[in-house]
């Protein structure tokens, strides 16, 4: 980078062409692993030579400090709950710092992906030949994963609303059933309360109200039972007594 900066200082670019010219010459002088690193940069990520040189130095300084090797690529693996975006980001970071043929890099990618990954199945089925193509395919599956997560959140919100509405409806139905049962019970109680006419025959000699005679007595008559075994008043008293007791 120091040598390149010295050489670039001797160029005569116009002020408005300097930044683009520096980027172009910088890329033209890359080769091998450095050129592979540049080819894997996301589109629209770099807007100036300053950003390009900073990204380049940042990646290569990490390589020097951490000593990234091919072993890091082979031991890489996607966690079960790790998003595809996160894993591909880690994979790109490592593969951009090691110099391996595309065939080996693709094999490492397949082995590192979670065994149920749709991307893993796609790369194997379509026999992807270049790492660039494999990473391009990964972008499609990352978008599908994002859309699936968005739909899952939307569905969860709708499901929560439906559950709340259902709970409210069940509460209203329960209240309605309770009210209906109460009214039905009241109706049943009323149905058992038979009506006895207040009309009475001329007063007769009083007999104990709780004594029930099985023999006809011409001196007593019940308007409800239409019999001469007890009076209407005795029948009413007996009904009220039984209702209070039971």
pLDDT of 124 higher than 80 = yes
Q: Tell me the sheet residues that pair with 222.
A: 227
pLDDT tens, 23-33? 888 888 777 77
Domain limits of the chain? 1-67, 197-246
* Three-class secondary structure assignment of the chain: CHHHHHHHCCCCCCCCCHHHHHHHHHHHCCCHHHHHHHHCCCCCCCCCHHHHHHHHHHHHHHHHHHCCCHHHHHCCCCCCCCCHHHHHHHHHHHHCCCCCCHHHHHHHHHHHCCCCCHHHHHHHHCCCCCHHHHHHHHHHHHHHHHHHHHHHHHHHHHHHHHHHHHHHHHHHHHHHHHHHHHHHHHHHHHHHCCCCCCCCCCCCCCCCCCCCCCCCCCCCCECCCCECCCCHHHHHHHHHHHHHHC
Share of the chain above pLDDT 90, in %: 22
User: Is 196 within 8 Å of 235 (Cβ atoms)?
Assistant: yes
Residue that wins the pLDDT comparison between 59 and 148? 148
- Where b means 16+ CB within 10 Å and e means fewer, 37-61 reads bbeeeeeeebeebeebbeebeebbe
Ranking 2-6, 22-26, 90-94, 170-174 by mean pLDDT, the lowest is 2-6
Instruction: Please compute the mean of the pLDDT values over residues 134-144 and round it to a whole number.
Output: 93
Say how many C-beta atoms besides its own lie within 10 A of residue 238's C-beta: 14
pLDDT of 213 higher than 80 = no
């Amino acid at each position: 980078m120091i040598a390149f900066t010295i050489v670039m200082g001797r160029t005569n670019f116009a002020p408005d062409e300097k930044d683009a010219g520096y980027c172009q010459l910088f890329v033209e002088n890359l080769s091998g692993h450095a050129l592979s690193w540049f080819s894997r940069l996301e589109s629209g990520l770099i807007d100036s030579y300053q950003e390009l040189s900073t990204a380049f130095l940042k990646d290569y300084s990490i390589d020097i400090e951490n000593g990234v090797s091919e072993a890091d690529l082979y031991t890489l693996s996607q966690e079960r709950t790790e998003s595809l975006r996160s894993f591909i980001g880690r994979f790109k970071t490592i593969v951009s710092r090691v110099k391996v043929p595309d065939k080996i890099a693709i094999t490492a990618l397949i082995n590192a992906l979670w065994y149920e990954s749709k991307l893993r199945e796609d790369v194997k089925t379509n026999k992807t030949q270049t790492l660039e193509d494999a990473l391009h395919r990964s972008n499609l599956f990352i978008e599908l994963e994002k859309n699936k997560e968005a739909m899952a959140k939307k569905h969860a919100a709708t499901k929560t609303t439906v559950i709340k509405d259902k709970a409210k409806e069940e509460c209203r139905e329960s209240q309605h059933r309770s009210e209906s049962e109460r009214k039905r019970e009241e109706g049943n109680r009323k149905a058992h309360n038979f009506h006895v006419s207040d009309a009475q025959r001329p007063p007769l000699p009083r007999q104990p109200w709780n004594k029930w005679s099985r023999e006809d007595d011409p001196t007593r008559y019940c308007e409800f039972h239409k019999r001469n075994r007890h009076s209407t008043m005795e029948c009413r008293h007996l009904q009220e007594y039984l209702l209070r007791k039971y």
